[in-house]
Structure 1
Amino acid sequence: MADAEPKHDGFVPLFDGSTLAGWYSVPRVYGTEYPGGPLLLERFEALGLTPPVDPEKHPARWFAEDGVLVGEQDTPGSGYGGYLVTERAYGDFELVLEMRPDWPADTGVMLRRRPDSWEGFQVLVDHRPSGGIGGFFGNGLASFSAVPFAVDVALDADGRPAGLVADDLATSVEPVTEEKRARLTYAADVGDFLKAWRWDGWNELRIRCVGALPVITTWINGIKIAELDTASLDSPNYNPSDVLEVLGTRGHIALEVHDNDSMFGEARWGKGAQCRWRNIRIRELDREQL
């Protein structure tokens, strides 16, 4: 798909609407916590968290249906996650796509991901309790969290999810602290995000990724959500030079189906939940365009 002819705006499709051509699937297997650091599973053990056993044997399920790219746990409710990764690597680019995750579904878009290991920057689409949407996380990059806000769900009179609301700090499982917000060079207000988000509808995510250690910016339905300068990011165990050495200046794009752990259980990925993506397109940027 990366060889498709560009449209007049310079964007080319990454998904043809009917096949997974140009993508490959990998299971959600953890590596080191940060470059040269301990295995993340050791941290899980210390925290008493238990991710699924033998994840390499159980990748997520990805398929195309009616012009939509769908990801789900395989089998539904199994607790195993995975990624769908582009065959091509990209440097500086703008990526635009539409997303429609179920509640709860902890998904996201990885940038500069390594082809055969889990390191990379992640744009969060944590459509679940205390989830960040449009913020950032460092997979294998010291697990930094840089998010402007977190969300929860409002229930209707029958106890069914009916829309997003701001996460309540008093009851949050994963609260957004000032430290997490301060890692961003721009952080939107949750109220502006909630006005823009379409519950039970399609939402456009736009991502701009520019630089060797990139500045990453996100917009949702035209509203600027967050910006992160990965060269100046200050977070425990995060070392920009080590990150650049591991990732290089180009990497793959990946979509995520999260696994379930003992901390969130099915509040992270509900049984039978899916994430859905469509109109996935990319425009590579030359230095002259910056």
Structure 2
Amino acid sequence: MFDDDGFVPLFDGSTLRGWHAAPRVYGSLYPGGPHVHDVLAERGVTPPHEPEKHPAVWTIEDGAIVGRQDEPGSGYGGYLVSDRAFGDFELSLEAKPDWPADTGIMIRRRPDTWEGFQVLLDHRESGGIGGFFGNGLAGFSAVPFAIRSRRDANGDVIGLQADDPATSTEPVTPAKIGRLGHAADVEDFLSVWRWNDWNELRIRAVGALPVITTWVNGLKIAELNTATLESPGYDPEAVLATLGSRGHIAFEVHDNDAVFGEARWGHGAACRWRNIRIKELG
């Protein structure tokens, strides 16, 4: 299905050479807009205290990059950012997130601020996997489905199932699905996802304002045209002026905000990344 010629590794399997840690700090809600902290204050939500001092904890374990909160369980998140910037590319990697672990892969990320497109790996209740979010880009959400835990008789999480819109903490609306040019069915996703195991993600980004396509274990999950995307506050021209046509790749460890708490990132949880390869296009 995929042409693997031309890929080069972004991770050497033993060091963080080519990557650097960055704290999970916030900026404007959208280019030229209010600061996220001001928006949160209007909603009565307290932002993290001095997040710039906590870039998450990034280690190498068994040939994989492992991200945990700084300090583990503290609630502080962060990013691991590629030193290099990329334009058009196809990215291939394997991920193994704990439950719950709200993570993702940022592309076209700014080097020193939080703006960029995020491919979601929200491995938590009502989370989306393979969809998209706009960090500092009006917070757009474009997702094909959401998932929740499947539990045994003892209440232990043993897998995933489709989210229940009636009880969802972050329901998938027709508008979120409608922003996508392709949206996979949740049951197709569940048939390929490997619980408590490694899963392959592929991301292709092409164009100055890119068309972004995602696959999980070979299944096409979602496609988004960021040049024609319509979402409240989203301005393609302002986004291009802010991001440019090249940007960095970053892995995320989410903070535990006042809304979701440890439902976002469980105490001591981690996400693991390995076999990270990229092919530049064009």
Distance in 1 between residues matched to 2:63 and 2:143, nearest whole Å: 31
Report the TM-score, using the length of structure 1 for normalisation. Answer: 0.95
Deviation for aligned residue 1:125 = 0.2
Alignment of 1:6-25 (within 5 A): 9-25=5-21
- Within the candidate set 260, 263, 270, 2:259 is matched to 263
| Structure 2 equivalent of residue 133 of structure 1 | 129
Distance in 2 between residues matched to 1:29 and 1:136, nearest whole Å: 19
Report the TM-score, using the length of structure 2 for normalisation. Answer: 0.98
Residues 203-234 of structure 1: CA deviation (Å, up to 9, x unaligned)? 00000000000000000000000000000000
Q: CA RMSD in A?
A: 1.0
Tell me if 1:72 matches 2:59: no
Distance in 1 between residues matched to 2:48 and 2:68, nearest whole Å: 15
Deviation for aligned residue 1:23 = 0.2
Deviation for aligned residue 1:158 = 1.6
Distance in 2 between residues matched to 1:39 and 1:51, nearest whole Å: 11
Distance in 1 between residues matched to 2:46 and 2:264, nearest whole Å: 14
Distance in 2 between residues matched to 1:201 and 1:49, nearest whole Å: 35
Deviation for aligned residue 1:8 = 7.3
| Structure 1 equivalent of residue 268 of structure 2 | 272
Distance in 2 between residues matched to 1:186 and 1:194, nearest whole Å: 17
Alignment of 1:96-245 (within 5 A): 96-245=92-241
Q: In structure 1, what residue type is equivalent to 2:251?
A: L
Q: Secondary structure at the match of 1:15?
A: coil
Is residue 51–residue 259 contact of structure 1 (8 Å, CA) maintained in 2?
Answer: no
Deviation for aligned residue 1:58 = 1.3
Q: Secondary structure at the match of 1:213?
A: coil
Gaps of 5+ in 2: none
Distance in 2 between residues matched to 1:73 and 1:33, nearest whole Å: 24
Distance in 2 between residues matched to 1:75 and 1:172, nearest whole Å: 29
Bigger drift between 212-221 and 158-167 goes to: 158-167
Deviation for aligned residue 1:48 = 2.2
Distance in 2 between residues matched to 1:168 and 1:15, nearest whole Å: 38
Distance in 1 between residues matched to 2:105 and 2:4, nearest whole Å: 25
Distance in 2 between residues matched to 1:238 and 1:230, nearest whole Å: 10
Residues 139-159 of structure 1: CA deviation (Å, up to 9, x unaligned)? 000000000000000111221
Deviation for aligned residue 1:51 = 3.0
Residues 111-152 of structure 1: CA deviation (Å, up to 9, x unaligned)? 000000000000000000110000000000000000000000
Identity rate, percent: 71
Tell me if 1:86 matches 2:82: yes
CA 1:278/1:249 → structure 2, altered by over 3 Å: closer, same or farther? same
Q: Report the number of matched residues.
A: 280
CA 1:276/1:8 → structure 2, altered by over 3 Å: closer, same or farther? closer
